[in-house]
Amino acid sequence: MLKQFLHRRIAALEHAFGYDASYLHDLTDASTPAFAKFAMFQWMSSHRDPIPRDAWFAARIAAALSEDCGPCTQLVVNMALRDGMKPEAIASLLRGDLEQAGPDAELGFRYGIAVANGTDDALRLCEEAQARYGKRGLVSLAFAVASSRVYPALKRGLGHGAACSRIVVSDQTITIREAPRKAS
């Protein structure tokens, strides 16, 4: 009964975002306690206190790109669009035209890449983000990056990895050649 409920919830996520969550179905079938622990992680993953939407989603997109540049990135893009982030800003980030995305999106994306990849400018970007958003905002960004990296790793770990692909942003299709490795 519980597994049926969980499968319905996963199916609703798949339907809402056009996302293949087979790995979550597999997780549910393998271990309901493991899925329950994963569900608790969702609470951390959704934490956004007080930070602009564009900075938070840009950090999540950057972190997903650093791990996957495929379906997980598309899911974050779709979530950002649903939450009202402008398609032009997202497309600019994916093309590497960071300045065109707006100051919050640019900082969030640079921060996300730097933290996800452990680049030399990560500390500087942490300080910049804290100066702009405060310590609570920095925590939100750090959670955004850390949690966005979990999903692609979990998918790969369960044998559901995907190669880089095209990301669709409204009516634009952007081909990702490889995940970004520098904050530039």
> pLDDT tens across 27-45, in order?
999 999 999 999 888 888 9
Q: Are 125 and 110 in contact (CB under 8 A)?
A: yes
Q: Does the pLDDT of residue 102 top 90, yes or no?
A: yes
Q: What is the pLDDT of residue 181?
A: 52
Domain that holds residue 142: 49-175
- Spell out the long-range contacts of 122-126 with Cβ–Cβ below 8 A and sequence spacing 24 or more: 122/183, 125/183
- Total number of domains constituting the chain: 2
Same domain, 114 and 100: yes
Residue 180 has pLDDT above 90, yes or no: no
Same domain? For 77 and 146 the reply is yes
Do 153 and 66 share a structural domain? yes
Q: Is the confidence at residue 103, as pLDDT, over 90?
A: yes
Determine the Cα–Cα distance for residues 53 and 165; give it in Å rounded to an integer: 25
> Is 140 within 8 Å of 126 (Cβ atoms)?
no
Please report which confidence band the pLDDT of residue 87 belongs to, taking 50, 70 and 90 as the band edges: very high
Query: In this structure, are residues 155 and 72 in contact, taking their beta carbons and an 8 Å threshold?
Result: yes
* Whether the predicted pLDDT of 179 surpasses 80: no
Decide if pLDDT at 122 tops 60: yes
Where does a domain end: 45, 62, 80? Answer: 45
pLDDT band for 156, please (50, 70, 90 cuts). confident
Is 181 within the bounds of a domain? no
How much is the average pLDDT of 55-77? 91
Higher pLDDT, 107 or 182: 107
**Claim to verify: residue 70 and residue 133 sit in the same structural domain:** yes
Distance (Å, rounded) from C-alpha 144 to C-alpha 112?
8
Q: How far apart are CA 121 and CA 23, in angstroms?
A: 34
Asked if residue 96 has pLDDT above 80, the reply is yes
Tell me, yes or no, whether 20 and 80 share the same domain.
Answer: no
Indicate if 13 and 85 belong to the same structural domain. Answer: no
Does a structural domain hold residue 183? Answer: no
**Of 175, 32, 162, nearest in space to 94 by CA:** 175
Asked, for residue 132, whether it belongs to a domain, the answer is: yes
**Separation CA 35–CA 126 (nearest Å):** 32
